[in-house]
Structure 1
Amino acid sequence: MSAVTDTFVRTLHTADLTPGLRGAIRRLLDGAFAGHADGDFTDADWDHTLGGLHTLVLEGDEPIGHSAVVQRRLLHGGRALRAGYVEAVAVRADRRRRGHGATVMAAAERIIRGSYDLGALGSSDEATGFYAARGWQVWAGRTSALTPGGILPTPDVDGWIHVLPVAAIDLGGELTCDWRDGDVW
């Protein structure tokens, strides 16, 4: 654990979250995304958050900041790339603008650079500048999803998918995500 002012930062796998901490994270995310322009935080969004590494900014036992990195397969240039996909980046409304978002993203980026071919995330309008300032790049090519019915274009997310290349990658090529329920990206 490392101290950040009056808070602590922890990174834990989903398997290591106690039921109480898991519930507190869900409440944080529900509150952070309530009334959001892209919609509330759904059960499918929660499902996408689980199964990877969670970085938490804690005040005592209470999470006030969160990010998760989960493994996904992204197809690009004839290869299946191991991607660290960032989910559920949030800071409690009354604790924003204090560097907590940067703290959880720095941990996510360290995990990605050490374990994956690239990082990826879907951004909201409000967060694009935040991610760009951290070196994330907008995917310039087409996007698609590998669905049970085959590869289907996802033009509605073109311009919203950001990547953190770990190795050289053609940002203008096609990027295809693996299938999942809810929002595929």
Structure 2
Amino acid sequence: MDAVSEADSYDETIAAWQAAGESGDALAAARCLADDVEVISPLTAQFRFRGRDQVVEMLGAAFDVISGIRFHTAVGTGYTRALFYHAHAGREEIEEAQLLRLDPAGLIHELTLFGRPMPGLAAVMADIGPRLLQRQGRPGLARVVNLATRPLAVITRLGERRLVPLADPDRVKPRWPRSQ
């Protein structure tokens, strides 16, 4: 493949990937993936999703949890790209950054995900794990994971709304009487 057609295949894959994400279509996203694709999750360092089948299963669960994806920034050229989007996980806002590495055929062979803010990530974690386990036919473990992750989602949501604003550098600081 010459350099021009290689660049075109990269751009076509990125455009198709963005369209699949914005429409929540895991099967369309699958067409952008190399057979040996690997996804590095923002939620755990304990394992990676490897191979098209595992990644498509994960994407299906992710698209059940994450809605309203709208890509706002794309940077990079050639086989390395970074994409950024805004979306929601339930009532929580999220922003995700995706580092994509494409193979010579123009397919995604590595995808590293990064997310923010913490309440959004916790909401994704609380919902995606149980959904994946349900899809794998492990409903008992799905319930256990749900019970284990739900408190983190609640705590981070409350902390974001009640405690974090107290650290805002633009917040008016109370004037406490100073003792001398």
After TM superposition, the score normalised by the length of structure 2 is 0.33
Answer 1 or 2: which has greater helix percent.
2
After TM superposition, the score normalised by the length of structure 1 is 0.32
Answer 1 or 2: which has greater strand percent.
1
Instruction: Please identify the structure whose Cα radius of gyration is greater.
Output: 2
